[in-house]
Amino acid sequence: MARALLNLLNLWARNRRTRRALSKLNHNQLEDIGVSRSAQRQELTKWFWD
C-alpha cells in the first residue's frame, strides 16, 4: 500500500513538472515537438492528478 501511494505521488509530481515545462515553451518549440498551441492549453488546464 505504501509503495502504491509513493508511486501515485511520484506520478503527480511528474505531471506537475512536465506541465510546468510545457507552459514555458514558445510557438517554435511547440512546433518542433509537434504540439499545437490548443493542445498545450488543453494539457495545462488539467489538474495534476489527471
In contact, 30 and 36? CB cutoff 8 Å: yes
Grid coordinates given for 24: 514555458
Give the Cα separation of 1 and 13 in Å (integer). 19
Domain positions in the chain:
2-44
Q: What is the mean pLDDT of residues 5-23?
A: 97
Q: Is residue 49 over pLDDT 90? A: no
Backbone angles phi, psi at 42, to 5 degrees: -65, -45
pLDDT score of 24 = 98
User: What band does 48 get if pLDDT is binned at 50, 70 and 90?
Assistant: confident
Q: What is the pTM of this model?
A: 0.83
**Closest C-alpha to 20, from 49, 37, 43:** 43
